Structure formats: C-alpha cells, structure tokens
Amino acid sequence: MDIRFLMKQAQQAQAKLQEIQKNIRAEGTAGGESVKIVLNGAKELVGVSISKDAMDPDDPSMLEDLIMAAFNDASAKTDEAMNGAASGMTSGLNIPGFKF
C-alpha cells in the first residue's frame, strides 16, 4: 500500500468536496414560501427573502419562527445534497479494508 497515493487521493477528494460545498444551493421555505432561506453546501447563508405578509409588527415572534423553520428546511436539504455528493465521491475510492 502506497501511503503517498492514498494521501493524494484524500487531498483530491477534499478539494472536490470544498468545490461542491461552494456550488450547492439549498432553499428552505416556511409560511407558504413567505420566508425563503438559501444555504450553500457549507451551510453558509447566501440568500434571504421575506415577503411583506410574513411581517406582523404586533407579532415579531411569528417571523422569528418562520425564519428558523426555513433555515432548518434549507439545512436538511443541504445535508441531503452533501450526503449524495459525498457518497458519489467515495464510490471511486479503493481503500483496502473499507467498503463504501
């Protein structure tokens, strides 16, 4: 087993994963899409959209709840996309003793 070869494979996989994280976009919504949150694969916030209907000056906690729900939705979709991308990447690795 050539450790240098394995290290090179690991570095290539890490670089590819970072590129995938930058390019993935997952949109989460809440309140009938009155609140939209967009995350990248690293779960960094890249977009927010809030309709006027979601803003009630007498009930700010409603908007807070909608934002949290939209974020959680986007987060779950990001996890799903990243898991799919990661499983696709690991299928090409041939590491003795490990089955992907």
Determine the pLDDT at residue 68: 98
**pTM of the predicted structure, to 2 decimals:** 0.77
pLDDT in tens, 42-68: 999 999 999 999 999 999 999 999 999
- Tens of pLDDT, residue by residue over 75-90, are 999 999 988 887 776 6
38 phi and psi angles, rounded to 5 deg: -120, 125
* pLDDT at residue 5, as a whole number: 87
All domains of the chain in start order, with CATH: 20-81 (3.30.1310.10)
> Which strands form 35-40's sheet, in the order they lie side by side?
25-30, 35-40, 45-50
| Nearest-angstrom CA–CA distance, 52 and 9 | 49
Q: Round the average pLDDT of the chain to a whole number and report it.
A: 88
- Rounded to whole angstroms, the Cα distance separating 59 from 49 reads 19
